[in-house]
Structure 1
Amino acid sequence: MTDQRKGSDAEPTTHFGFKNVPESQKAEKVAEVFHSVAAKYDLMNDVLSGGMHRLWKRFTIELSGVRTGNRVLDIAGGTGDLAAKFSKLVGPTGQVVLADINGSMLKVGRDRLLDKGVAGNIEFVQADAEKLPFPDNHFDCVTIAFGLRNVTHKEDAIRSMLRVLKPGGRLLVLEFSKPTNALMSKVYDTYSFAFMPLMGKLITNDAESYRYLAESIRMHPDQETLKSMMVEAGFDRVTYHNMTSGIVALHRGIKP
């Protein structure tokens, strides 16, 4: 993962897809990917998941326990799918913060939600998941959907999420994971490394960005590893739910 060194004075490296790059360069490279895909992000999500991402996100909403008056932080919130749903749940007495490190994705999300007329209780913040600019013990729920795998220092991000949660608050991490059977794993690999870049080329004229996204899925920690990371960060009652044969997993942890 991170902190791979070629020599004692070398800068630590981390993975960017299947490549090793200096840690200081990963965020910029990830930003380039999402600047490229932002305009067609929703369309590509529907095409590449067959619309399944909407079901995965719906389950995340159901498991969140968010209710009227809550304060919710959606990290890597992108085009605002989760934020729009949370906005209705928390109502006028609650607040949703849609945070994303990428300005292009944040703009698409803001414009999309304003067009839908659901942004009245939503704040848009450009923020790094590793260094969240919010007070301690501030949110009732924190979510991050399909964003953690792009973070350079995942452990730092998870600790930052713990810090901003209120005691008893929930973290939900929705992310691609490891298929639970060998046949599905082979099918999914073929799909990821052949179909995803092809559709990226056809729809956005950008095969490379979608090749990175496929590689980043492969490099992301599996279900048990991510569970252990959340426990080590300080979360209690950490569980996960596999969806679509483990292609996606939803992890949930509670701040003590």
Structure 2
Amino acid sequence: MTGTHTPAQDPAVPVVALRGVHAELGARPVLRGVDLAVRRGEVVALLGANGSGKSTAIRTLIGQVPATAGTVELFGTPRHRFRAWARVGYVPQRAGAAGGVPATVAETVASGRLARTRFGPFRAADRAAVHRALGLVGLADRAKDTVTALSGGQQQRVLIARALVSEPELLVMDEPLAGVDLASQEVLATTLRQLVASGASVLLVLHELGPLEPLIDRAVVLRDGRVVHDGPPPRTADGSLPYGHEHHHPHAGDGADSRGLPIR
């Protein structure tokens, strides 16, 4: 069967590949030659202190920040030519999840299906996908509530369901644990475990591993916009991650302290 796979189908082709990527924010260099690969079925965590370039790497991958040098590929296709966005689910940081618009939970999740429906009419399969995604994150009973009526952790679950509703092969998440209560962190861990079991890949930015640690296949640590580690999550002698954490979460309520860690 050699030669019958397209790059997007070949299991040997990474679903994410950044090679020598540089990026700037406001003319300030942020990424300085980043190499990053995520293979099929892998869960890869991007780690590093605040300002190390983690979120910029994610935003460069999905096209929100242009790469000034290097190459970015999704499923073997250069990002500027990539069009199959239904294959990618993206969960931004929780701030602004409600968006100030009084949409219901189901309506917000359904918006994530547009890449698959191509803005056509919603069909039974689409409604079933919304219900299934809400069930995965434990919010099926809140479908008719407005997003603004939910707690911060529940709002984060809505963003995750919105990303899952397109049935993505790659899930990209930017700080999904930030300011989120422990119950929602555990729901996320269970959801990701099911997603990975179905063959999906996950790339996520984290400050702490928390309940997700057993799921992490590889950790890529950034420092000053460069990769300084790619392998098992590194640990210091006391078991902590080997970098400072001075990240402030303005939305750190919902059972969390000022660092976005759950209050126990």
Structure having the higher helix fraction is 1
The alignment's TM-score, normalised by the length of structure 1, stands at 0.28
